[in-house]
Structure 1
Amino acid sequence: MVKVFKTNVDSVENVLALKQEINEVYPYAKVSFDLDDIDNVLRVEDVELKEEYIINQLNNAGYICIDLPILDV
């Protein structure tokens, strides 16, 4: 499952810390941030992913995190 989130994460240092936190719970997840995107997109891919955990983790760290639906075209 791939989930995409809009965030306000804005620095490489914060990205590294958040990726580490996510990988502690989801050690096999592929986690990437796109800080060049206007929405500072976070993509997480993992078989057992719970989007609520990701949103809560970022919110608890002081960031905005909004689930973006993936549209089939």
Structure 2
Amino acid sequence: MVEVFKTNVSTVRQVERMIKILQLYFSDCHINFDLEDCDRILRMEGNRENFDLTSNVLLQEGYLCEKL
């Protein structure tokens, strides 16, 4: 399953940090950000039916995250 989120993560350094944090919760998933997209897209792909924790993790780190 693939989930897509709109975020306000805006730098490569922030992306690297957030990927490390997200991998603690979703170690079995492929995680990437598209900083060139105006919505700073976060894509998560894996054998899961639920990525609901994603928004909470980003919010706890001070970022906006909206499931698309």
TM-score (norm 1): 0.87
Give distance in 2, aligned partners of 1:9 and 1:50: 22
The count of residues paired between Structure 1 and Structure 2 equals 68
Give distance in 2, aligned partners of 1:20 and 1:45: 15
String of CA shifts for 1:18-44, please: whole Å, max 9, x gaps: 101111121121101000000000000
* Structure 1 gap ranges (5+): 69-73
Aligned-pair Cα RMSD in Å? 1.0
Deviation at 1:50, TM superposition (A): 2.9
Paired-residue identity, % = 35
TM-score (norm 2): 0.92
The structure whose Rg is larger is 1
* Structure 2 gap ranges (5+): none
